[in-house]
Chains A and B, each alone.
Chain A
Amino acid sequence: MNFFKTYKKQIFILLAVLLVLCSFITAGLKQQTGLVGSAVGFVVTPLQKLSSTVTGYVGGQIASLSEERDLEAENEELKAQVALLEAENKRLSLYEEENKRLSDLLDMAQKYPAYESIGALVIAKDPGNWFDTFLIDAGRNKGVLPDMVVMESEGIIGRITETGPNYSQVQSILDSRSSVSAMSLRTGDLGVVRGDYTLMNQGLCRMEYIDAESEIMTGDEIVTSGLSDVYPPGLTIGYVQEVVTDANGLTKYAIIAPAVDFKHISSVLVLAEELGESQSDLDTSAQQTEESQPSAAALDGEGGTAP
Chain B
Amino acid sequence: MRRVITLAVVLFLNLILQSTVLQHIAIIGVVPNTALIIILSMALLRGSTEGAAVGLFAGLLQDFFFGSSIGYYAFLGMATGYIAGKFNKGFYRENYLMPMLLTFLATFCYESSIFLTSVLFRGHLNYLYFLSHIILPEMVYNTVCTIVIYRILFSVNSATEEKEKFKRRLFSIK
Which residue numbers of A lie inside 8 Å of B, CB to CB? 8, 12, 15-16, 18-30, 33-34, 36-37, 40-41, 43-44, 47-48, 51-52, 55, 59, 123-131, 133, 135, 161, 169, 176-177, 197-198, 200-202
Contacts and interface: CB of A to CB of B under 8 A. Distances in A.
Given A41-B64, A55-B20, A127 B70 contact: no
A161 B68 contact: yes
A135 B20 CA distance: 10
Contacts, number: 137
A22 B70 contact: yes
Contact of B68 (A20, A30, A34, A135): A30
Contact of B19 (A19, A43, A48): A48
A120 B20 CA distance: 16
A28 B69 contact: yes
Contact of A128 (B28, B70, B114): B114
Interface stretch (B10-18, B92-100, B154-162, B163-171): B10-18
Given A16-B79, A197-B119, A129 B138 contact: yes
B95 to A, nearest CB: 27
Nearest to B17: A51
A44 B118 contact: no
Contacts of B122: 176-177
Contact of A36 (B17, B56, B64): B64
25 contacts: A8-B48, A15-B56, A16-B79, A19-B71, A22-B70, A22-B71, A23-B72, A26-B70, A36-B64, A43-B12, A48-B16, A48-B19, A51-B21, A52-B20, A127-B35, A128-B62, A129-B30, A129-B33, A130-B134, A131-B66, A135-B19, A135-B65, A169-B65, A198-B129, A201-B29
Main secondary structure of the interface of B (DSSP, over half): helix
Contacts of B70: 22-23, 26, 30, 34, 37
Contacts of B151: none
Nearest to B49: A8
A300 to B, nearest CB: 27
Interface residues of B, number: 51
Contacts of A197: 119, 124, 129-130
A16 B75 contact: yes
Contacts of A29: 69
Nearest to B15: A44
B66 A133 contact: yes
A191 to B, nearest CB: 18
A41 B65 contact: yes
A12 B69 contact: no
Contacts of A131: 66
Contacts of B16: 44, 47-48, 51, 124
B119 A130 contact: yes
A12 B17 contact: no
Interface string B17-41: 1111111100011110111000000
A37 B18 CA distance: 18
User: 7 closest A-B pairs (Cβ-Cβ)?
Assistant: A201-B29, A23-B71, A124-B19, A22-B71, A27-B69, A19-B75, A37-B64
A48 B20 CA distance: 7
B52 interface: yes
A22 B114 CA distance: 17
B74 interface: yes
A12 B12 CA distance: 23
A254 to B, nearest CB: 19
Contact of B69 (A18, A30, A40): A30
A78 B76 CA distance: 50
B78 interface: yes
Contacts of B28: 201
Nearest to A133: B66
Contacts of B19: 48, 124-127, 135
Interface string B113-125: 0110011001010
B140 interface: no
**Central interface residue in B12, B31, B70, by most chain A CB within 10 Å:** B70
